[in-house]
Amino acid sequence: MSTICGVCMHRCRLEPGQRGICGARANRGGVIVCENYGQITGLALDPIEKKPLKRYRPGSLVLSAGSYGCNLKCPFCQNYEISIGYGTIPQTAYMAPQSLADTALHYKDRGNIGVAFTYNEPLVGWEYVRDTARLVKERGMDTVLVTNGSASLDTLAAILPWIDAMNIDLKGFREAYYHKLGGNLNVVKEFIKQAAAECHVELTTLIVPGENDSVEELEEEAEWIASLDPDIPLHVTRFFPQFRMTDREATDVGQIYWLADAARRYLKHVFVGNC
């Protein structure tokens, strides 16, 4: 029996045994299951600023954990081996929610504040995020989510009570650009709006030459963010050619600073990245 997955805007209709676009969710006997539950591809103690979060617990460390799968297909993906994966599942190690929460607590004496769900798109395995985040919070520690924001509001509602801070990728501010990446701008905007009302949110826009690098577009984006809250931080980040997008040069550093200055006309906290 075919079943619809409701985690994101794709609403994949899956036949038994079939995986969704994300590569992490599948139909098993008419039920959508999270195949990447607890399957960890990366674990590291990172500076919080690397998420990037500049205005949440600055100077601290956070235990970063990632799995596999993503519901977008960005041609410039930095972690394509685990995010896109060409339909294959990368090497993983199983880590139960309690084990990850206990590991985070173990590193508290080294400055760790909790767990960050990152590296791939965590919300394609939102059940693991929810279950682990609950246990992390029970241990008096913090939870961070690094996400593309391309998820349903029901998915967001399921994890939001357990999340302290998010960095959300806002890829650009044109629907046509999001369509190229396999996403939907309005879905991300609604996600950001709801998340920012409930927890600490920072946004990141990677500036890709010839795609989303006009002042007009970034000003529209910054003005929209300011309409939610001018205190929301925005990270304006430099693109480097990689994966399937090696047909252009890295973004000009001067362009990044110029765009950041344009965003500052609307927002109080604008940071540049990769410069």
pLDDT of residue 1: 80
Stretch (H or E) spanning 168 = strand 165-169
Q: What is the pLDDT of residue 82?
A: 83
- Let me know: does 199 contact 160? Beta carbons within 8 Å: yes
Of 3.10.20.340, 3.20.20.70, 3.40.640.10, 3.40.1640.10, the CATH number of 3-273 is 3.20.20.70
DSSP 190-255: HHHHHHHTTSEEEEEEEE-TTTS--HHHHHHHHHHHHHH-TTS-EEEEE---BTTB-SSPPPPHHH
pLDDT of residue 87: 56
- What are the distances in angstroms from CA 59 to CA 98, 112, 141, 247, 249? 26, 10, 16, 37, 32
The whole-number pLDDT of residue 79 equals: 85
DSSP code of 69? -
DSSP structure class, residue 19? B
Q: If residue 45 lies in a helix (H) or strand (E), which one and from where to where?
A: strand 42-47
Which residues face 33 on adjacent strands? 26
Phi-psi label, residue 38: left if phi above 0, alpha if psi -120 to 50, beta otherwise: left
Walk along the chain (275 residues) and give the pLDDT tens digit of each residue.
899 999 999 999 999 999 999 999 999 999 999 999 999 999 999 999 999 999 999 999 999 999 999 999 999 998 888 876 555 677 899 999 999 999 999 999 999 999 999 999 999 999 999 999 999 999 999 999 999 999 999 999 999 999 999 999 999 999 999 999 999 999 999 999 999 999 999 999 999 999 999 999 999 999 999 999 999 999 999 999 998 989 999 999 999 999 999 999 999 999 999 98
How do the domains of the chain map onto residue ranges?
Answer: 3-273
